[in-house]
Every structure is written in structure tokens, then in C-alpha cells.
Structure 1
Amino acid sequence: MPTTRRGGLKIVELDVKDVRFPTSLGSHGSDALHTDPDYSCAYVTITTENGRQGFGLTFTCGRGTEIIVLTIRSMKRFVLGKNAEDIFANFAGFWRTITNDSQMRWIGPEKGVVHLAVAAILNSLWDLWAKIENKPLWKLLVDMEPEELVSTIDFRYITDVVTKSEAIQILEAKKSGKEAREKYLYENGYPAYTTQVGWMGYSDELVKQLCHKYLNLGFTHFKVKVGVNFEDDYRRCSAVRNHIGSDKVLMIDANQAWSVNEAIEWVKNLAPLKPLWVEEPTSPDDVLGHAAISEALKPYGIGVATGEMCANRVMFKQFLQSGGMQYCQIDSARIGSVNEILSVYIMAEKLKVKVCPHAGGVGLCEMVQHLQFWDYISLSGTMEGRLIEYVDQQHEHFIDPCIVENARYLTPKVAGYSTEFLPETLDKFSYPNGTEWQRMFKEGLFTLPDEAELVN
């Protein structure tokens, strides 16, 4: 932070809205366990006394968003009246304060609804910081000296893997070549893979159309949802393999559908289709189970990807240490925002595990691109074996949507974290009183929620 204080940055308002999109009507986002998701988010706006605003969100699948909204409202006291510059000057200290309240942590700690709520608030603060500095978030991170960036991270519980001083040394060692890597990103973007062809509720004909669409858009990596019925999985994955050809890359995602032994046998039987990875093959909390699956699938050349529902940096630490993940999938809203995500990236770099972020959802593509760009420029220095997930939904609702051309994310240039909705989106899709939701209730497409759910 600059030594000169700007003034007017006391936070005077924190607003939160429940925003939902009716994606279940088209089976968009459907998988083995989440059969009818309505892509949604708890959307936070913080405002300073001089009118600066930051916007943040945490992704949900519909029902339950109202619980996160209420939790965010209960956390206003951590933010209101604070000076934003003071928060940024001691961001690790603020992070620990908001995640470790002596009473609220009992319904966490650092996981579940409480941590999702924290992520939305912290995402809005990072957006505010980047806007104050007039930089896209990735550039804010890239331009920080290692000591300043590391000062935003709470290292409690992870010093057995990486210490603060080690993190600084890792970042210092990667300073050489930063300018060239940044230039490369501006000119070439970052490679993406698509999940849009593989939702479980899609018809065979739609899958065929989408495979050809995304091949024509330059995609070479395609992910398919699996996990309910083996014969159906083999048929659907075989169809995608046939549509995309043997020279393209197939991945599969079970979304936690199996027990450990079941996962091993199921994926072994899909091995002839040559998937690069199986994602979330079992419970997202089963570190040793993932390690066993990873070891069993190693002879088949199939890796394990997981992390989108990993609760915190401590869980990530164990997955990384155990060999339970070959592809680390951070999520921009699942754990405690950028502060905690940075610690996972640094641990993954030290332990030499590739980071391939989970995206899709509402705003996740917009956010994770910033994190992966920073990783390439400042930390890992490589794109080898690394991709950003891309799901072609809800981008039109953002003021600064992600842009993907020829299967590559283009570099964001607008200041902030790319998390601000268009005003008309809030008018239409705020739940349950937005105009689109009121229309769908009247038409019988959805049932008007019980009075207890009307928290807005």
C-alpha cells in the first residue's frame, strides 16, 4: 500500500443479495450428485464514505443461498467502520479476525457456510483494493513485492509445509522473466478446457452439437460428467471421444459419486477411453481415499483432480502432501478468498503439483483467470499441463466478463476482480423478487418459496 493515505476509505455500507439463475430448466450444470442446480450466488457490495465500491460473491446451486446471505449480514460488524487501507496494510490479521471470531468459528471453523460467507466479503475487499489501485486483480498481485504479497496470508496450520520466509524466497526466485511472461499473456492468453459438452442431463444430440461447436472454437480438452450408471457413462464418454477424436484430451468428473474401491474399478473400466484425469472420485474430505485412488490409477496414466469443494488450506495441505491430487483445483469462492488461495498456490508450487482451477458457476471463470495469470507470471512460471476450466454460462451478466477466444482466456484489462454485475441483472435475477423470478413463479416454472425463505 502507498504510504500516503487517500482518505474517505472508511467502509460505511455492506449490502448482500441472493442472486439466482434458472439453469435447472435446461439441465445446465447437472452432474451425478447435483441433478438440478440453479446457478446462484450471494453477492456483496461494500461502499466507502467517498463512494468507492467493491463487489464480491460466493457461488451456490440455489437453495441454501439465503443461509449464506444471513451469515454475511451477521458478519457486517467486522467490516463496517473499518478503513480499507488499514485492512489492506494488515490483511492477514484482518483475515484471521473475520475467520476466527470466538463464537462464529464454532459453526466453522474455516469451512462450510461461514467460510463461504467470508469468501464473498473478502472477494469484495480484493475487488475494492484493485479498483483503488486502478489495476486488474492479477496485475495488483503481480506488482506486489514478495514481502507485501506474503503479508496477506495467514500461515497458521501450514508452516510444516511452507513458512512465510520460504514463500518469500520462492517468489523472489521467480522474479527473473516476469516481464516476458506478462507480455506473453497479453499476446497469447491462457489455455482453457470446456465442461460445456458434458453435463449429465444433456441429450446425445446436444452433446454432439456442442462437441463440434467447441472443436470449431479451438478447444482440445473436454470434460464429461460421470458417476450414476457405468453403461451410460461408457456410452456418453465414448461418444465424446468419437466426436473429438483420439488426438484431443478427455477428462471425467464424478462429483463425489463413488466410494474408494468403486471409484478405482469404475475408472479402470473407463481407461480404454484414455481420460487425462478423474475429478472428485469420492468424498471431497477423504484425503487417504484420494491417495489410494491416485496410486491405483497411476499405471493407467490417469491422474486425480480435486479441490473445488476442499474446505480450506489445511485440507489442501494434506491432499498435496499425500499424493492424493495430481491436479489441484482451487475455487475462488470455496475457501477464504485470495488470501487463502495464495497459500495453496505456494504449497502446490513447493510440492510440484499442477494447479488447474475449478471454474464454471457464477463468476468463477471471471475470478480464477486473475489467479492463474498471477501464478504463471509470479510463481510457477509455466503453463505446461495447466488449464483453466471454462463453462459458457452467465458471463453476459458481468460488467467485465471473461473473454475466451481460440480456447484461451484473454488478459483482463479492467480494474478490479471482474466481479461486478450489470444493474439489470440484479433487477431481473435477485431472488425471489427480481422480475424474472416473479414471472417464472406466475408461469408455474418454479414454486414460490415458503415465507421463511423470503430473507430479502
Structure 2
Amino acid sequence: MTRPTVIREISARDIRFPTTLEGDGSDAMNEPDYSCAYVVVKTDTELEGYGLTFTVGKGNEIVCCAIKAYTQLIVGKRLADIFADFGGFYRDVVQHGQLRWLGPEKGVTHLATAAIFNALWDLWARMEGKPVWKLLADMAPEQIVSLVDFRYINDLITREEAIGLLKAGQQGKEDRLAKLLAQGYPAYTTSCGWLGYPDDKIRQLCEEALTEGFDVFKMKVGADVQDDIRRIQIIREMIGPDRKLMTDANQRWDVNEAIDWMKKLAPFKPYWIEEPTCPDDILGHATIAKALNPLGIGVATGEQCQNRIMFKQFLRGGALQFCQIDSCRLGSLNEIIAVLLMAAKVNIPVCPHGGGVGLCEYIQHISMFDYLCVSGSMENRVTEYVDHLHEHFVTPVIMKKGHYQVPQAPGYSIEMKADSLDMYEYPKGKVWQKLFDDGIYERE
């Protein structure tokens, strides 16, 4: 295939799945319809790049509009120029003199830039004939660091420190790669712990997950403390006393409420409490962490942490013990790499967020790159897995014995099947038209 030279078009489609109907993804704050703003970057050849940003339904159309607002900054650009200084190009787009007013580097505009730059990463990897994790792992430390905007985070890690960290990470990389190829990257399952599931379904899914080789589990909490005690007891009885069990409140509580609630769940040995309070409350998370650490309960957060600057404060302030980056909330790998580097410097494990459509496909690449080149460790690190909607992807994740298997296909594993896009495009897709006609959903 002829190598592409220029970007000709960027399209965005509103794709939604009616997951509310089965309770999939239900938690103490959300009843989501897993959705995404799906981007295709078209070039002057047949080669294309694919990306998406995850949402939970209403408002997905706003992200699509934001994506369109950025296309004028990218269409017509030469790919050689973009990838020769990908870090500089990222900064120019994100810091546009007018569009940044809507952020900066947060909210809908940042979700939009993530979708676009995720697609550019996919395109770059396809051009090189490599999966994204390998594209990154094959780069020299200086090239990796050139992808990052260090503005506002130099007080935690400098460019020079990052290069030194990555150079140190070169030692033993081939051995780590051999281990990764042999066994994969460890995962935990959230699929048995959704808040809206009945008890018999929880038991069934726990049994299935154990059969599939999972040793680490997560459940949703936060709506009713007595119900949480009953549900956590069921799961603990199913998985045994020694397997790790995490809890996730999805921002439901105030600070003191979170502390009191988790003290009541402490006898069941939760490994962490995820998103116990407002995702912007760094001081609140630090207070919760200080209170719960003596009980052996860590604080995990980050899936709605909107930029590297907030992560800097979480990491420096003792506000988390597990760093949960999100592949779409941050501005693509360009910003994710910055967080990986900061977390490695302060020795905080990164455990990416994977609930939602396409996120598991993304984060397998991130965790594998982190292991190979940045942290060099799997200790206290585990990557989320949710068994939903993978059938809609051309190269979906492969899970064996509770481990992500190493992706081999070029790209970011995020290309969706054409039939799925047509069936689930909102509101004109056949699935949605039937739901409207049957009166299950109201037309907007």
C-alpha cells in the first residue's frame, strides 16, 4: 500500500449502545448507555486512522460537534510534519488560542482532542506496521519524551529526569517483553459487580470469572450501605478470603461519608476504594486516604481526572495510592505518557480504567508500554477488564487466564466493524429505530 502523505478528512459519528436495558455499567451515580464519539482520519490513500472517546449516552453529540471544531486545525496537514514533532503538534492543537477557552485541557474539548489524537496514534502505528504498544516501545527515550508537554509539571518531573528514567528502563526490557508475550498483562474483572445486577447473576458471574482464571475482582458500591454489605459478603464468599476485591463508589460520597462507609466495609478486606468523592477534590481524597490507609484500604482515582496537572497534584499530595488514567479523558497518549512518567517517579502504580466501550482495547497498549519502558514492574498493578461490547471491534482484546494477551495487529485495536457502526449510530441506526418504534426509548 502506498504510504499516505496528507490528511484529507476527519469524520465523527455518534455511536450508542443501549446497555441500560441489562444493567450493564450500572453504579451509584450512572445508568449508562455505553457510547462513543467515533473518529475516522482519512488520508490521500486507503489507509485510515480510527479513534474514539467514551461517553455514557446523552451529550455524545456535543463531543462530535467539538471534534468537528478541531478538524480545521488538522485537515490538510502533512503526516510527515505531524509525526516529526508530534508533541509540538499536540500542544498547538490543544492550546488553540480560542478553543482552549472552553477548557483548557478539560471537559468536552479535551474529550474531542483525545478522540482525534487517538486516531492519529492509530494511523501512525498502521503506517509503521506495528501495534501502538510496540510503536512506543521501539522509540528511543528522547523520542518518547519529545511527545510530552512538560509545561506545568516541571516541578514534579523535568524533561531530563524523564529521559533518565526511560534510559534506566531499557535494562531488562527484552526479558520483560518475553514474559509479557508468554503470559500477558494481569487484569481484574468488574463484570460481576455492577450495582444493578440481582444476587443470582452476581453469583453466576463470579463463578464464571473464577473459571476463566480471574484472581482480582471489583464491585460497585455507594447507593445503600446495608445493600453493599450484603453484596460484598456474597462476592467475598464466592471468591474466597484471599483474592483481591476492590470497591468503586463513582464519586457518590462526601469526604466524611466515604470514610464512615468504608469503615463498615473494612471487615471484608477491600483492597481499594475507587472514586470515593468528587473527582476534582484533591484535598478530600488525601483526607480519605489518610483515614483509610491504617485499615489497609487504598484510594484509587483518575478516570475523570482531566489533565496531567491535576494528576501531578494527586500524586504529590498523597491523595491516591493507585493511579487510574483514562485513555479518553486525558488528551491521548501524548498526555498519558506524562502521567506514566510522573507516577513512576513517585512510585505509584498505574492501573488504567477500562469500563466502557473501547477502553479495554486502548488500555492494554498503555499498560504494556508502561511495563516495558516506564515502570518496569507489574507489582501492585492490574488493568481493568469489562466483558462488554468487544464483539463490535475488528481486533478485540484477547483475555486468557485473567491476563490481557499482547496485541499483534498494527494500530490501536480500536477500529469498529462497519455493520456495528451502521446498526448503532444514533439516532438513525436500525437498533435505535426499533427501540424508538417499540417505545423502549423516547425519540429526542
Give the TM-score normalised by structure 1. Answer: 0.96
Counterpart of 1:353 in structure 2 is 348
CA deviations 1:258-286 (Å, max 9, x no partner) are 01111011101110000000000000000
Structure 1 residue 148 corresponds to structure 2 residue 152: no
Q: What is the correspondence of 1:44-123 to structure 2 with a 5 Å cutoff?
A: 44-123=39-118
How far off its partner does 1:7 sit?
6.0
**Aligned structure 1 segments of 4 or more residues deviating by more than 2 angstroms:** none
Structure 1 residue 197 corresponds to structure 2 residue 192: yes
Counterpart of 2:202 in structure 1 is 207
> In structure 2, how many angstroms separate the alpha carbons of the residues matched to 1:437 and 1:411?
34
Aligned length in residues: 443
Q: What is the correspondence of 1:312-351 to structure 2 with a 5 Å cutoff?
A: 312-351=307-346
Counterpart of 2:128 in structure 1 is 133
Counterpart of 1:452 in structure 2 is none
Is the 2:276–2:285 Cα contact (8 Å) retained in structure 1?
yes
How far off its partner does 1:84 sit?
1.5
Counterpart of 1:454 in structure 2 is none
State the AA in 2 paired with 1:178. Answer: K
CA separation of 1:291 and 1:103: change in aligned 2, threshold 3 A = same
How far off its partner does 1:421 sit?
0.2
Counterpart of 1:25 in structure 2 is 21
Is the 1:18–1:43 Cα contact (8 Å) retained in structure 2?
yes
Is the 1:9–1:52 Cα contact (8 Å) retained in structure 2?
no
Structure 2 segments unaligned to the other structure (5+ residues): none
Counterpart of 1:15 in structure 2 is 11
> In structure 2, how many angstroms separate the alpha carbons of the residues matched to 1:314 and 1:262?
27
Is the 2:4–2:79 Cα contact (8 Å) retained in structure 1?
no
State the AA in 1 paired with 2:27. Answer: D
State the AA in 1 paired with 2:443. Answer: L
Structure 1 residue 287 corresponds to structure 2 residue 257: no
> In structure 2, how many angstroms separate the alpha carbons of the residues matched to 1:288 and 1:397?
40
Structure 1 residue 375 corresponds to structure 2 residue 384: no
Counterpart of 1:403 in structure 2 is 398
Q: What is the correspondence of 1:155-304 to structure 2 with a 5 Å cutoff?
A: 155-304=150-299
Aligned residue for 2:333, secondary structure, equals helix
> In structure 1, how many angstroms separate the alpha carbons of the residues matched to 2:47 and 2:101?
33
Structure 1 segments unaligned to the other structure (5+ residues): 1-5, 450-456
Is the 2:358–2:390 Cα contact (8 Å) retained in structure 1?
yes
State the AA in 2 paired with 1:422. Answer: K
> In structure 2, how many angstroms separate the alpha carbons of the residues matched to 1:39 and 1:8?
33
Is the 1:221–1:249 Cα contact (8 Å) retained in structure 2?
yes
Aligned residue for 1:276, secondary structure, equals strand
Structure 1 residue 386 corresponds to structure 2 residue 362: no
State the AA in 2 paired with 1:364. Answer: L
Counterpart of 1:3 in structure 2 is none
How far off its partner does 1:100 sit?
1.0
Counterpart of 1:440 in structure 2 is 435
Is the 2:3–2:127 Cα contact (8 Å) retained in structure 1?
no
More displaced 10-residue stretch of structure 1: 89-98 or 22-31: 89-98
How far off its partner does 1:50 sit?
1.9
State the AA in 1 paired with 2:212. Answer: L
> In structure 2, how many angstroms separate the alpha carbons of the residues matched to 1:379 and 1:76?
32
Is the 1:33–1:255 Cα contact (8 Å) retained in structure 2?
yes
State the AA in 1 paired with 2:78. Answer: N
Is the 2:53–2:328 Cα contact (8 Å) retained in structure 1?
yes
> In structure 1, how many angstroms separate the alpha carbons of the residues matched to 2:391 and 2:58?
23
State the AA in 1 paired with 2:383. Answer: I
Is the 2:54–2:328 Cα contact (8 Å) retained in structure 1?
yes
How far off its partner does 1:95 sit?
1.0
How far off its partner does 1:445 sit?
1.5
How far off its partner does 1:157 sit?
0.4
Aligned residue for 2:72, secondary structure, equals helix
> In structure 2, how many angstroms separate the alpha carbons of the residues matched to 1:85 and 1:26?
46
Aligned residue for 2:235, secondary structure, equals helix
> In structure 1, how many angstroms separate the alpha carbons of the residues matched to 2:11 and 2:46?
14
State the AA in 2 paired with 1:145. Answer: A
Counterpart of 2:418 in structure 1 is 423
Is the 2:7–2:77 Cα contact (8 Å) retained in structure 1?
yes
How far off its partner does 1:88 sit?
1.1
> In structure 2, how many angstroms separate the alpha carbons of the residues matched to 1:344 and 1:387?
17
Aligned residue for 1:181, secondary structure, equals helix
How far off its partner does 1:360 sit?
2.1
> In structure 1, how many angstroms separate the alpha carbons of the residues matched to 2:432 and 2:210?
35
How far off its partner does 1:8 sit?
3.7
How far off its partner does 1:437 sit?
1.0
> In structure 2, how many angstroms separate the alpha carbons of the residues matched to 1:85 and 1:272?
57
Is the 1:330–1:356 Cα contact (8 Å) retained in structure 2?
yes
State the AA in 2 paired with 1:389. Answer: E
